[in-house]
Chain A
Amino acid sequence: MLARKHYGVAALLALTVVATSFSVAHADTAKDLQVAGRALTFLENGPTGKVVLGVVFDPSKPASVSEKNAVMAAIGGGMSAGAVTLTAKPVEAGAVGGVSGVDALYVTTGVNVGAAAKAKKLITIGSDTACATSGACVMSVSADPKVEIVVNRAAAAAVGAVFKAAFRMMIREV
C-alpha cells in the first residue's frame, strides 16, 4: 500500500517537472519572439501592423520541429510586439526558395537557409547566436537572462536590411 503511494507521488512529481520545463521553454520562446518583433521595428522603413513570420523548420530534426511547435504555440492567433503584431506560418526548410506571403523568417536551431533567404531578400532571425555569427541568419535574439541581439552585417547587407543607427549602437554587430 505504502509502495503504491510512493509510486503515485513519484509519478505526480515527474509530471510536475515535465509540465514546468515545458512552460518555461514556452515562456522563453515567447520572450525571444517579443524581442524579435520589436527589433524588426528598428529597421529603416521597418514594418508596422501585421507581420507574418515564416517559421523555418526541418521535419527530420525533432528539436527543430519541437521549436517550431513552441513558436507557433507562443504566437497563436497573433502576438503584439511593440508596433507590430506577429503572426506565424510554418515553412519547411526545403520550401524557403518558393515561400511567399511572409515578411521575415524565424529559423529554428540547427537549420540553415541563409542562401535561399538571401535570394528571396528575406530577413532571417534565429534564437541561436551561432546562426548570426556564422552568417546563416541576419539577426539572432535571446531574451534570457538578458536581452542579447546579434546582427550579421554581411547577411543584413545581402538582403538589403538597414537598422537604425541608435539600435546598432546598442547591439552587437559581427
Chain B
Amino acid sequence: MKKFLFASAAAGLTLTAAAARAQSIDYGAMEQLFNEPVTTSATGSPQRATEAPVDMTIISAADIKRSGATDLPTVLSRVGGLDVLSWGASAADVSVHGYDRPMTPRLLVLINGRQAYLDHYGYTAWATLPVQLSEIRQIEVVKGPNSALFGFNAVGGVVNIITFDPRHDDANTVTARVGTSGYREVSLVNTLKLGERVSALLSVGASRS
C-alpha cells in the first residue's frame, strides 16, 4: 500500500517591540480583571465577551488543550455554526452557517488581527499558518458578517487567532504527540523577555503523518 506522507514544519521567532503587534491589549490581565474572556474581533475595540454585539464564540487555550485536536480545522469543527470541509491532508475549508465549498473566500482568518487569508489564492491554507496550537491564547470566532470592520472576506464571519504575547504572558511549552497512521508531532513554544522594551516568542514545530 502506498503510504501517503505529509510533513510540515514551521519555525518562527517573533520579536516584539512597542506597538509592533496589531492588537496589543493584555488579554490575560483583562481576562482576570473582568473574570471573563475579552475580544477585539467584534468591533475592533477591546470588549468583554458578554458585551460583544455580535454572535461569537471564544475558544480558549484550555479548550484547545482539552480537545485533543492536532490542527485548527478540527478545533473549529467543534464550534456550533461552523462547517468544516476537509479535502486533503490537513487542508480544509471553513464556513459559517453553511454554504461551504472548496476555496471559500467568505471567511476572514486573522492571526493577532493580521490577515492570514491568502488573497492571491483565494483561500486560507490552514496547514501552513505560522502558529502552533500550544501558542494560541484564544480563537475568536465571529459567526456572521463583519465586513464593515474587516472588509470583503468577512462576509461569512471572522476567525481571529490570538497568540500569547511575550510582553505580558509567560508561555513555555514542549509538545510531543504520536498517533495512528504514523502520526508524529513535536513543537516548542517559548516566550522571552529581553528587558523592558524587547520581548520574543520562539515557536518551532514539525508534524508528519
Binding site for B on A (CB under 8 A): 35, 38-39, 41-42, 82-83, 143, 146-147, 166-167, 169-170
Contact = CB atoms under 8 A, between A and B. Distances in A.
A27 to B, nearest CB: 14
28 contacts: A35-B33, A38-B29, A38-B32, A39-B33, A41-B29, A42-B29, A42-B33, A82-B29, A82-B32, A143-B35, A146-B50, A147-B33, A147-B34, A147-B35, A147-B36, A166-B25, A166-B26, A166-B30, A167-B30, A169-B45, A169-B46, A169-B47, A170-B30, A170-B34, A170-B38, A170-B46, A170-B47, A170-B48
Given A38-B33, A170-B47, 19 more contacts: A38-B32, A41-B29, A42-B29, A82-B32, A83-B29, A143-B35, A147-B34, A166-B25, A166-B26, A166-B30, A166-B46, A167-B30, A169-B45, A169-B46, A169-B47, A170-B30, A170-B34, A170-B46, A170-B48
Contacts of B48: 170
A132 B51 CA distance: 22
A115 to B, nearest CB: 29
B45 A82 contact: no
Contacts of A166: 25-26, 30, 46
A146 B32 CA distance: 13
A37 to B, nearest CB: 10
